[in-house]
Chains A and B, each alone.
Chain A
């Protein structure tokens, strides 16, 4: 029996690495990859709690998170394609149209 704490620490590690990646990396696609990593960290916490609490709610929630992540990835990548066509770059330092 794996202790719940260890599952949650693994999930916290994945989430924090994702946060660090989102803030530190400059390539927009890699930032996106790190967001997927954060979503997976959260999913792991949901699954851990679901098995330890004998509940299915966590599993159902992970299912919905997966679907939303898929939709988000599709739209996000389409936006990135459009940005690349207009600006010829994917560096988040140079995509600063909304910056004041």
Chain B
């Protein structure tokens, strides 16, 4: 169990590094899909089967396919040169990322405090991961659930309006 966590966690980091250094956007997107699959396995190891399934279906399946569609639609060329050169902003960017990592790792040393929740692993295993999430979504978090449905509607309408190909009308104005 633990070994699998380190194996797939390492693979996820490798995929992330590939996204960072590969030049072709298509390769970047595919590396990210692999990274998301490995993260899905990690979620299963952490007893979150529902999130693992959603990760694979929505993230690796839907969102990344959308990205690949847009990359191929726009026929994006690979970046001409390797992204890291000795320019000052890029050195600063790398330094910023490393400093954020060291800050986070320092933070993680602090002990876990606060009261425990009412959903231990045994209860989730008994009631089922999806049932527990659904029960909570439609009782305690029903307002957030409704709001997020409006957000999705707005996003869909906005995307259609933005991406619609403008047809020139007879007067020459953009319709």
Taking beta carbons and an 8 Å cutoff, which residues of A are in contact with B? 1-2, 4-10, 12-21, 23-27, 29-30, 32-34, 36-37, 40, 43-44, 47-57, 59-60, 62-64, 66-75, 77-82, 84, 90
Sorted nearest first, the 3 A-B pairs with minimum C-beta distance are: A55-B117, A23-B93, A71-B155
Instruction: List chain B residues, Cβ under 8 A from A19.
Output: 96-97, 100
CB distance from A99 to the nearest CB of B (A): 14
Q: Is the interface of A mostly helix, strand, loop or mixed?
A: helix
Cβ-closest chain A residue relative to B26: A29
Which B residues are within 8 Å of any A CB, using their own CB? 1-2, 5-6, 9, 12-13, 16-17, 19-20, 25, 28-29, 32, 35-36, 39, 42-43, 45-48, 50-51, 54-55, 58-59, 62-63, 66-67, 70-71, 73-74, 76, 79, 83-84, 89-90, 92-94, 96-98, 100-101, 104-105, 108-109, 112, 114, 116-121, 124, 132-133, 136-137, 141, 144, 148, 151-152, 154-156, 158-160, 162-163
B16 touches A14 (CB 8 A): yes
Partner of A48, one of B16, B32, B46, B94: B46
Known: A10-B9, A27-B79, A34-B20. A51 touches B47 (CB 8 A): yes
Q: Which residues of B lie under 8 Å from residue A59 when comparing CB positions?
A: 48, 50-51, 133
